[in-house]
Structure formats: C-alpha cells, structure tokens
Amino acid sequence: MEEDHQQKVILVTGASSGFGQAFVEKFAANGYKVYGTSRNACYTENDGVKMIPMDITDNDSITEAFNYILGESGSIDILVNNAGFGISGSIEDTSIEEAKALFDTNFFGTHRLCRAVIPFMRNQGQGHIINIGSLGGLVSIPFQAFYSASKSALASLSDGLSMELQPYSIKVTRIEPGDYKTGFTAARIMVEKSGHGSIYDVRCKRAISIMEHDEQNGADSKHLAAKVLEIAESSNPKLVYREGMFTQKFLIGLLNYLPDRFVQKILMNTYGI
C-alpha cells in the first residue's frame, strides 16, 4: 500500500499553517509525494513535504507552480483546495474592495486551481479534487456573512464540477468543517470600518468573541487531516462530508427542518446578538 502512496502526487494549497499544514504532514507520513503551497514558500523540503510558492489569485504564479510540480513528478493525482481566509464585520461596513479580495481567494482562487489541474487529470485518466468549505457556508453567520457567502458559492461550484467531470474519472469532494482549533482565529481580518465608530461595534465584538472561543475550543485539526486521508484513499468517496463536533453537525442537520425565522433566532442567540 505504501508503494502505491509513493506513486500518488498530492498538492495542498495554503499549507503553511492550520488545516493545510495538518494535511501535508498527514499525507507525507503515509507515503504520498506531497507539495504544499504558500505565498512566501521558497522550494524547501522538510519531513517529506516540499513547500513551493504560489499565489492563488495570480494565474502566472499558479502556472509556474504547476510547471515545477509536473516537471519534477509528472502528475498531480490529488488537489486539496484549502487556501482561504476570513473577514469579519457588518455587511454595511464591508467595502466592495474587501469583499472582492475575500472572494478572489476563497472562491476564484479555487476556480483558478481547478482550471489549471483538470486538463492534466483528464489526460492521465484520473484524479481527485477535494475542496475545503465550511459549515458556515450552509448558514449565514452574523458579521461573517461574506465568508459564509464565499463558502456557499464554493459548495455550488464543487457540486457542479462533480457532475461535469464524472465522464473523465475525476472525483470531486467537498468537506465542510465546523470549528477547529487552528491559526484561522488569529488570522481573522476585521474590515476597516468595523470597530469604534461603527453602529454595529458592540454586537459585532460580542459575536466575534463567541466565535473565537468556539474555534479555540474546537476539535484538533489532526482529526480532520485523518479524515481527508481517508477520503483520498476511498475508491468511492461521498460528494459531501460534514466534519467537526457532534453538536454542530447535529444543529446543522436540524436547521433544515425548522422555519427560517426560527433558525435566525437560534443563530442570533448563539452569537449573543
């Protein structure tokens, strides 16, 4: 089995920290040939993970990274679209430029990577694209509505892509994690007009404080990495996996059967607004 892993080439975006770092470490420990990307990487290799530079908002950077991987390894068997970030603040306080920057990474970045990898996977007759979404894409989180919107859009993209690629033996899976303890919390960006002077300041800070508490008390990212490995090794993976603490997954499932206004009340109570 390990010999088969060594023949598999996996590319993980956003691999310098958080989920991405846990993913590349897990795959390398299980015999895969692993490439991770970040904007500031410089072609270093450590413990079986080769980090290479890639800016997923830049087509030329993506092309350069793909040429490097294919020149060295000849294939990309699994792509994990993990790179992304979050912004927080009210919709009114969020500028068009801030919203566009979020979507350029979280949504269009994934689209760019898919467009780049699909021709190679189709020519080699197989492949697997794993898109990392969020349970927050299933419900709109107050004061993180643009993050939720980007992950909701990613879910639609992923499902449509799965149907389009079925004739070419390319599998597409989306994973929707709940709260995990990662560096995502510290990396959260508040929109420029949030904070003191915003009419939403007090409610926004309260909601973000609750979110950050939940994240820092969430599951270990190593558990999600183990699940991603299991999905990558499955001959018939599901289209969607929802991962995280049982209470979050149960609540998400329950929301489908409740009136919309009642769902909003639950969310507002959850985040103290």
Active site residues: 147
How many Å apart are CA 216 and CA 202, to the nearest integer? 21
Phi, psi of 134 (to 5 degrees): -170, 145
Angle 48-54-60 from CA coordinates, rounded to 5° = 135
Buried b (16+ CB within 10 A) or exposed e, 70-102: eeebebbbbbbbbbbebbbbbeebbeeebbebb
Write out the two tokens for 221: 């990212």
Give the containing element (helix H, strand E) for 116.
helix 108-124
